Amino acid sequence: MIRARYRFLLALHPRAFRARFEGEMLLTFEDALASEGGVRLLFDAVRSLARQWLIRQTLWIYPVALLAATCVIAFLGWTRTVVMARTSVSDSSEALILLIAAMAIMAVMFTTIFCVVWLRWIQRLRHA
């Protein structure tokens, strides 16, 4: 039963990872199953699965970029509301500081997203 679960977890890994490591992982699992049980390696396969799909693949970039864009838009909307509410001359410096802060946050988020996408693109070119 535990052997079938381990094989199922291996089947969920990306194809390139399976092609390179599946045989070695199965041999290690069989050795561990005979000596100490395979529960530890079952948890290791779950951790490896998460690592392969979330970190090594680029799928995580899109939800993070969407979340960052949503945060920037929400912050800019809030800043605009605050700026529009401040109509007196004494409050204009605070409104300007808020606007500059919003633009700085937006610039940092877009630069971060651009760098991540650019680095992934460079990695793909090197591995191709």
- pLDDT tens for residues 61-96? 777 778 877 887 787 777 777 666 665 545 567 767
Confidence (pLDDT) at 48 = 85
**CA–CA gap between residue 27 and residue 35 (Å, rounded):** 13
Confidence (pLDDT) at 91 = 59
**CA–CA gap between residue 30 and residue 38 (Å, rounded):** 8
Angle (CA) 17-124-109 rounded to 5° is: 110
Mean residue pLDDT of the chain comes to 78
- pLDDT tens for residues 21-53? 888 888 888 888 888 777 888 888 888 888 887
**CA–CA gap between residue 5 and residue 27 (Å, rounded):** 15
Confidence (pLDDT) at 30 = 85
DSSP 48-62: HHHHIIIIISSTTHH
Average pLDDT of the residues in 114-119: 79
Task: Supply the pTM of this predicted model.
Answer: 0.46
Q: Does residue 115 contact residue 109 with C-beta atoms inside 8 Å?
A: no
Confidence (pLDDT) at 121 = 79
